Amino acid sequence: MKWSYRIARIAGIDVKIHITFLLLLAYFGVTDWMDGGAFQGILSMAFILLLFLCVLLHEFGHAMAGRHYGIRTPDITLLPIGGVARMQAIPERPWQEFVIAVSGPAVNVAIAGALWVVLLLFPNLLGRAYPITSEILPNLMTINLALVMFNMIPAFPMDGGRVLRALLAMRLNYLKATKIAARTGQVFAAGFVLVGLGWNPMLLFIGLFVFTAARQELDDVAFREQIEQNGSYRI
């Protein structure tokens, strides 16, 4: 992906960061600094970094599940709208895609559960004596649960959309399952765009991304299906 730069290599996977993510980090850091002072600005940037660490772990959940089935992930890229694990192949069987799709949200459930246990065992971390942990930890737990619910919306190519395709592909052929999942994703994408226009610009960008990615996935699957059936692609 253009304008992406490698910042680490973990378990044989390049971790990349898109330049727009740095712009997002700077934007929230500066605006919160101006509104609430230096401490608030630093706290805001720390929270965003921790949030995207959770996103990175989410993507590694997908990558490790894919590796279990022999699918390599060359890199993971962090964007303002989330993370993208670039897998080199599509799972051969629907249940494999199902497992890979749910592995990411499962990581977020585990993170939220771990944070809940920490706060249960150490309730003083929520007290006024600990302004950083009392601000960050509950919000981080909540947002991990929100990530699970949002990702499981059946809007292809989000995780919920991939789960939908996997379930459909257990009964239908792969191309037809992809068509249904992609069209469903585009309906949700249109909803994201409409809500984003009047409320949240981030949803607008997510909607456009989901709509385009769903169309691209459908084209890719149709291309592979025709190659496999005819040995060539008819234009």
Residues 62-99: pLDDT tens digits? 999 999 999 999 999 998 888 899 999 888 899 999 99
On whether the CB atoms of residues 217 and 156 are closer than 8 A, the answer is: yes
Sheet strands side by side (includes 82-86)? 4-10, 13-18, 75-79, 82-86
Q: Identify the three-state secondary structure at position 18.
A: strand
205: in domain: yes
125: in domain: no
- Measure the CA angle with vertex 88, ends 86 and 220; round to 5°: 90
41: in domain: no
Question: What is the value of pTM for the model shown?
Answer: 0.85
* Residues of the chain predicted below pLDDT 70: 1, 227-235
Distance CA 120, CA 140 (A): 15
93: in domain: no
| Residue in this structure with the two tokens 């378990």, named with its chain if needed | 11
- What are the catalytic residues? 59
pLDDT tens, residue by residue, 91-121: 889 999 999 999 999 999 999 999 999 999 9
Any idea how long the chain is? 235
Split into its structural domains, the chain has a count of 1
* Domain extent at residue 195: 153-224
157: in domain: yes
Largest CA distance in the chain: 69
160: in domain: yes
